[in-house]
Amino acid sequence: MTNDDVHKCLSVIRDRAPGFAPRIGIVLGTGLGSLADAVAPVATIPYSDLPGFPIPSVSGHAGTLLLGRIADVPVALLHGRAHYYEHGRADVMKVPVRTLAGLGCQTLLLTNAAGSLRPQVTPGSVMLVTDHINFTGVSPLFGEPGNDRFVDMVDAYDPALRDRLKAAATASGVTLHEGVYIWFAGPSFETPAEIRAADRLGADAVGMSTVPEVVLARHARMKVAALSVITNLAAGMGDAPLSHLETLRVAAARGAEDIRRTLLAFFADGAG
Q: Which residues bind ligand HPA (CB under 6 A)?
A: 113-115, 184, 189-190, 206-208, 231-232, 234, 242, 247
Question: How far apart are CB 125 and ligand HPA at their closest, in Å?
Answer: 12
Q: Specify whether the CB–CB gap between 114 and 162 falls below 8 A.
A: no
* Residue with Cβ nearer ligand HPA (23 or 249): 249
* Residue with Cβ nearer ligand HPA (197 or 242): 242
* Residue with Cβ nearer ligand HPA (98 or 254): 254
* Residue with Cβ nearer ligand HPA (6 or 205): 205
Question: How far apart are CB 48 and ligand HPA at their closest, in Å?
Answer: 26
Question: How far apart are CB 60 and ligand HPA at their closest, in Å?
Answer: 11
Nearest alpha-carbon partner for 212 in 31, 119, 106, 85: 85
Nearest alpha-carbon partner for 116 in 178, 26, 193, 32: 178
Tell me the one-letter amino acid at 270. Answer: G
For every residue of 119-148, which 3-state class applies, written as one string? CCCCCCCEEEEEEEEECCCCCCCCCCCCHH
Report the alpha-carbon distance of residue 63 to residue 235 in Å, rounded: 29
Question: How far apart are CB 30 and ligand HPA at their closest, in Å?
Answer: 7
* Residue with Cβ nearer ligand HPA (139 or 231): 231
Give the side-chain half-sphere CA count within 13 A for 213: 30
Report the alpha-carbon distance of residue 55 to residue 89 in Å, rounded: 13
Question: How far apart are CB 244 and ligand HPA at their closest, in Å?
Answer: 8
Measured distance between the N- and C-terminal CA atoms of the chain, rounded to whole angstroms: 33
